[in-house]
Copies of this chain bind each other. A is one copy, B any other.
Amino acid sequence: MTASPPERIPIGGGPSESTAWVGAGLLREAGEYLASPSGRFFLVWVPSAAAAVEPIRRALAGRLLLDLAIEDGESAKTLDTVARIADAALAAGVRRDDAFVAVGGGVVTDMVGFAAAVLLRGVAWNAVPTTTAGMADAAIGGKTGVNHRLGKNLLGAYHAPAAILVDPAAAATLPDRDYRAGLVEAYKDAWIGDAPLAARAARRLPQILAREEAPLLDLLAGSVRVKAEIVTSDPQDSGRRRLLNFGHTLGHAVEAAGEFGRLRHGEAVAWGIAAALEISRARAGLPEADAAAVRAVLAALGPFPPPERDGARLAPFLARDKKSTARGLASVLLAEIGRAVVDETVPPEEWLAAAAIMSLS
């Protein structure tokens, strides 16, 4: 039983609408919230998420046609793993009206979502994130994909999950470093779109770090609401949705240049935000008080391992960013806490200069 009914947050609209459910105790009631046109489910999970898988398996008893464990981690996030998922599902007789359930972090939801996108040219899927990063970021907006030796997420598809279940209990066994890194994305959403939430969550940062349920649910639900509003207003990813990439332009480069795995994604984004604060001060009029408030939260979520700062090593990964066009790097800047803007005229050099001086203390 949940103490109170979960919050229902619709994302997108039309044929690609997702429904996010946010609440404590959702896992045990997964059978009521996971969606499948046929009523049949294909479960894919990672060993680290085993504790969250158990109640879901019970909830879907008799309706599971596949129960597949896959390897976790950025290095396993490849087209080969997607092919393995597809092979297993086809061998199990997957039909167009069946649905996947992905249980794990962003790596798993990205891969299962991608497999669902290309199997039979598209079957439904559900996301049950078991990391704070996954709860705040993955799946929402429908971005799925895998890495390539030349960069992250270079292969993928837009394929929104039918349902996303966010239950803080699913992250109960998450190591502290991952727990903190994942929260960077949740705070990021508050900074780009919800100033009152940002203030509230900054004030309750100690309780959130202590994993207290109420303030954590408030931050996660608020983060999902910000994303839902932005994604719904820009279904084609043609403009506003880029705001969600705040911290990601340099973040991706820092992560890739440092070799996948050394920095957590959220940690790299934290450094990317630190660099974006520098550029936002110069180009978007971000008040120093706001920049200091963001830095203080990031410092408390850390300390994070030092990033790659060498421009010569970062530059190739900046140029290969998916958002680069002939016009330059589409960059997200902060005008004030709660309001982000896109600036398409930031040359890569400016990001490299910011990388050299960015600071989280």
- Which A residues lie at the B interface, using CB under 8 A? 15, 38, 79, 83, 86-87, 90-91, 93, 95-97, 114, 117-122, 143, 145, 148, 150-151, 153-158, 236, 319-320, 322-326
Contact = CB atoms under 8 A, between A and B. Distances in A.
A158 B121 contact: yes
Q: A-side binding surface: helix, strand, loop or mixed?
A: mixed
Contacts of A158: 121-122
A38 B325 contact: yes
B121 A145 contact: yes
B91 A121 contact: no
Contact of A236 (B15, B97, B118): B15
B90 A326 contact: no
Contacts of A122: 157-158
Contacts of A90: 148, 150-151, 154, 320
B155 A157 contact: no
A360 to B, nearest CB: 30
Closest 10 CB pairs of A and B: A120-B322, A121-B156, A90-B150, A118-B155, A97-B325, A79-B83, A96-B322, A118-B157, A38-B326, A15-B236
Contact of A150 (B91, B95, B150): B91
11 contacts: A79-B79, A86-B148, A87-B148, A90-B150, A90-B151, A97-B325, A118-B118, A118-B157, A121-B143, A121-B158, A157-B157
Nearest to A322: B120
A117 B118 CA distance: 10
A151 to B, nearest CB: 8
B155 A320 contact: no
Given A79-B79, A97-B326, A119-B154, 10 more contacts: A38-B325, A86-B148, A90-B150, A95-B325, A97-B325, A118-B145, A120-B322, A121-B153, A121-B322, A122-B157
A213 to B, nearest CB: 35
A189 to B, nearest CB: 21
A156 B156 CA distance: 12
